[in-house]
Every structure is written in C-alpha cells, then in structure tokens.
Amino acid sequence: MLALLFILFAGMAIGCAIAVVAQRNPLYSAISLIGVFLSLACLYVMLAAPFIAAVQVIVYAGAIMVLVVFVIMLLNVDQEERRRPHLAFLVPAAIVLAAVLIGEVAFILSSVQLYPHTPTTNISDIGLTASIGAGLFTTYLLPFEITSILLLMAIVGAMTLARQTMIPSASTRIVPGAQLLALNIIDPKVPLDDTTTVLTHTTAEAERVLGIVHDHESAPRE
C-alpha cells in the first residue's frame, strides 16, 4: 500500500520534473514545477513530516511560484523555437557525469543493503508542528533570527532598487504624456548631464523660468 503510494507520487514528481525541462512554453514549465512541489509535499507526508509538507505548499507552490508565474505572464516570455542544438561537444561530459551519478546511487543502495537499520514501528514525533516549533525557538533560535534578517535585507534591497528618484510634491500638476527632457535640449550651452528639473507646461515657459535667452544667429537645430 505504501509502496504503491510512493510509486505514484515519485512517478508524478519525476514526470513533472522532466516536463519542466522539456517544455517549450515557459508557463507550462512553471505549472509542471508546481506539480513537482505538490508531489514532494505528498512524499513528505508519507515520511511523517506533515508540517514540512504544509509549509512546502504554502511557501513554494503558493508564494514563490506565484511570483514566477506573474513574471512569465507580465514579461510575455515567448516560446522557444525548435532548432537543432549545436551542443555535440557536451555529450562526452554528459556520459562521464551520468556514470558518476550512477556510481554514487549504486554505492548508496549497496551500503543500505550491507548495513540494514531496522525501522522503529512508532511514527517519530520529530515532524510534528509542536516539536519543530520547540526546536526552532530554543535550540536553533540564532539561525532563525539570522534568516529573518536575511529576508528583511532582501526586501529592503528590492525596495531600494525599485524606488522612484523624483517624487513630485502634492502641489505639482503632472501633465499626462509629459516627459523628463535634458536641459541641453532647450539650452545647448548647458552640459549634457545637468539634471535640473523644472515642471512646466510648455518649452517657452521653461525657458522663461530658467532665464534662457536664445541668440537668433545660431544655426537652427534639425
């Protein structure tokens, strides 16, 4: 019974993982990745870790993948064209690495056979929420707090990068379609990196506000 369930969930996980890599449409890859996470959550439940399973669904499938799906939807990432890959030079490296992987798996399986560990019949208490909470707030308190500060740093960094540099005050009028132009366009004698900002409605008004006087013998700009 348990073996049947394991084969089902592991098969789903492997199938969805292959689909992540093999799909051409990036949104289908993202949906397959969600399938992988849900199958992993079921496997965690089978391993008597219900809290980790729930947190996997809430955090990974419910928050991180929503972000990835938003990015794919908003940035209109197109499907890859099907073209023949010119990656023939990677085949020997792939064979060597696959042999190493098979060797490692064979080693693990053989040592499990050689040194069997009789499983205890009771389901362990480590996976329960109360046990995890107790450990997290007593023994592992310092790593927990440091991880929180790490996440806070990420949020602050994102906010700093996305901040608008010029924030108009409440009394400015913003004309729809207005642009920020360099001062050099109105007054060619000003260097190009002058970032004086004046909010006006017309170029003539800007010239008057900034006190720029044109001499009419200069060549007209194209």
Size of residue set near other proteins by CB under 8 A: 26
Instruction: Mark the segment that binds other proteins (CB under 8 A) among 53-61, 141-149, 157-165, 193-201.
Output: 53-61
Q: Quick one: which of 5, 22, 62, 188 contacts other proteins (CB under 8 A)? A: 62
Q: Which of 118, 119, 113, 99 is nearest to 47 (CA)?
A: 119
Among positions 120-149, residues that touch other proteins (CB under 8 A) are: 128-130
Is residue 63 a contact point for other proteins (CB under 8 A)? yes
| Beta carbon of residue 92, minimum distance to other proteins (angstroms, whole number) | 37
* 184 touches 190 (CB < 8 A): yes
Residue 36 CB, nearest approach to other proteins (Å):
14
State the Cα–Cα distance between residues 136 and 138, nearest whole angstrom: 6
Alpha-carbon distance 61 to 57, whole Å?
5
**Does residue 56 contact residue 37 with C-beta atoms inside 8 Å?**
yes
The CA distance from 42 to 54, in Å, is 9
Of residues 66 and 90, the one with the C-beta less far from other proteins:
66
SS3 172: coil
User: Which positions lie near other proteins, rule CB under 8 A?
Assistant: 1, 25, 27-28, 31, 34, 38, 41, 50-51, 53-55, 57-58, 61-63, 66, 69-70, 73-74, 128-130
